Structure 1
């Protein structure tokens, strides 16, 4: 009898897992709280061993067709004067794509043989000897052999299974707000970075030259803002960035009308164990690293390993979950360590640190240092080993 797997989350980790589960003989169902695929979002990049995974999935050409092809990132001061320039490989890896475009590609590659349920979410998990009884907000109770929480930093599956988020979340002391505005700066495959103490603004335009992708990042110790209150989030950003120079006032005007605002803390997730019985966590729900930790690629590598171990264990979840965690833990540690210090570079808190950061950017952006910095930024991407699992086998309970 085919093993049924419920996956919570139709972002990137969830559909990536569904892709591999179907190839290995499992029957995945993906439930997503949003009424449809989430469009837009920040850019994600791949490099090193992750490129091999994209090729193995057969989606690399689809990604290249939608890649941002971003050029340099230019560091400027509050008057718009150029201070340093970083080659595209530092921030964009070997290939870069908007999160929404990647989500769409994964969905298109799985929708014909995977059940997707939009506009619903898990409200209860009752594990029994031979399965998990799952209750939903908007549909009838169902039974699955296994349940996977691939539902991000604020995972509902993790909360239902392991407890409140605060027990496992470590905040890095910063918040980010991302949105899109018209490209009044006329940037063409170019990004700009402007920092003052405790605040950074990033604006870039890539494949779609009509828009600017804007990120506001700021130091935010002890900040609590309701997750679903967009107006309250906008108010916080407006207050935090009031008085900052360059193009910030005009970008803040764009924020007022933006309807696609992403607002969250920069945080990491630490759990002693990623599974409990028949329930397992994947991606940010299990091991969120934060910006700079190659989290998207690590989530997709995790999906590959988890599905491969389930197939190798013929559906024996206890064996598979233990092997999945054993093989990925080392890579997660590298990823989280790399991301933990990102605030020093993205949002320096003093003028001295901004000056030091800009000096490092000038040094690392020089041609002799390009290979060194590329190696540094690729450590997390290459930390997980991409094994060759056996040919797909039917999963039996």
Structure 2
């Protein structure tokens, strides 16, 4: 096991996490990333259930995460507001990492989490990062994978294992599984755009504001670590019954055409939305806009020979709050099962897949009515949702946050696995390193 050479493709979250644990198992790891550096910007992401369990296994990582949480008030608050920014309800964390609410106890920006994981791994003598590189081709030959690279920063080389961790639309998955890029992707008729804007639309406040308009539109304005800047998320959904190719075509074409076309599409799509005249100029001024379609990835297998999928490349969860935790857990279990099968990589990969599949099946479950419940299509549906929210807020206030809040926590955990406890029996491994 000590001379196992692993190529990991993708340096965002799953890749560095896999590298950390593979190094603990004694492997030599090279991580390549097609972008020239870690990407800045991105939305709030959550760490929940089994993700928390794995984070706590890395000395110092939980403390590093807590030191860089998104700067929400008390690190855990968001208001769902009307078109005048008057709150229907304020959503707070539970204070219990084992039973979280819609707002996570580990609410962190994607770029901050990537930076932290990079910092935890870049000094490891068994781990090497190469930015600005991607796989051009790969070919499995007996007990090796021959890889050629696109940009010349690495020579053609053999690896014992190639790990695809490059996202839901993984190009590496297409090469390794011999399929098309969009094979095994299930669209959800929803999308979102994320950017950091050089303006403080919250006017110094540290409470994220979530506003909705029909048909199926929502924005969230959140504070940034730097004063004078905000993070903005613009999201939209269409009826799940709609023909995907028709409703998603304008968004897909805009994203394919680049940032200018995407900003123009967003400006047209959100016309009439609350605070439109403030939000859209700020979005136009951003220099790190990222837009993506909400999808789930359901690959028929997580590995083929000496090629394996982790994170969104293998099991993107969509907008249900479990994707980051799946990525963190999958990276840990992959390395752990390889560690537990020294000299038999095939058995380790089979064991990884066997352990992951029930977790994936559970954490990919989409709650009833989601995501439409957050972005209603019709005015009457939006009014009904707001009325229900106001009733819930009144009940919680009347109960002084005790019995009713606990009841809602139980209901939420039944509604979605991301609100529950870690029930997956994540094993301990006797690491070789």
Structure 1: which 5+ residue stretches go unaligned? none
**Which residue is equivalent to 2:241?**
none
- 3-state SS of 1:92 partner: coil
- Asked if 1:231 is matched to 2:260, the reply is yes
- Residue 371 of structure 1: aligned partner: 406
- Which of 150, 165, 189 lines up with 1:173 in the alignment? 189
Aligned equivalent of 1:150: 165
The answer for the alignment partner of 2:148 in structure 1 is 135
Q: How does 1:1-397 map to 2 (within 5 A)?
A: 2-58=3-59, 59-71=61-73, 72-89=77-94, 90-113=101-124, 114-139=127-152, 140-162=155-177, 163-181=179-197, 182-197=199-214, 198-205=216-223, 207-219=225-237, 221-223=247-249, 224-225=252-253, 226-227=255-256, 229-244=258-273, 246-338=274-366, 341-365=369-393, 366=396, 367=401, 368-375=403-410, 376=412, 379-380=417-418, 382-390=422-430, 392-393=431-432
Alpha-carbon displacement from aligned partner over 1:134-187 (angstroms, at most 9, x marks no partner): 011112211100000000011011111231133211111111111122113224
Could you say what secondary structure the match of 1:91 adopts? Answer: coil
Q: CA RMSD in A?
A: 2.0
Structure 2 gaps, min length 5: 95-100, 239-246
What SS does structure 2 have at the residue aligned with 1:57? coil
Q: Paired residues, what number?
A: 392
Tell me how far apart the structure 1 counterparts of residues 302 and 373 of structure 2 sit (CA, whole Å).
30
Shift of 1:52: 2.7
What TM-score does the superposition give when structure 1 sets the normalisation length?
Answer: 0.93
- Secondary structure at the aligned position of 2:383 is classed as helix
| Range with bigger deviation, 226-235 or 7-16 | 226-235
> What's the TM-score once normalised by structure 2's chain length?
0.85
Q: 1:217 to 1:263 in 2, by over 3 A?
A: same
Note the alpha carbon deviations across 1:340-394, whole angstroms, 9 max, x for none. Answer: 853123321122222333244345552344334445357236253321112x227
The alpha-carbon distance between structure 1 residues 238 and 108, as it changes in their structure 2 partners (threshold 3 A), is: same
1:8-61 deviations in whole A, cap 9, x for unaligned? 000000000001111110111100001011122111222344323212112011
**How far did residue 315 of structure 1 move?**
4.8
Question: Is the CA contact (8 Å cut-off) linking 2:46 and 2:321 kept in structure 1?
Answer: no
SS in 2 for 1:109: helix
Q: Which moved more, 1:300-309 or 1:221-230?
A: 221-230
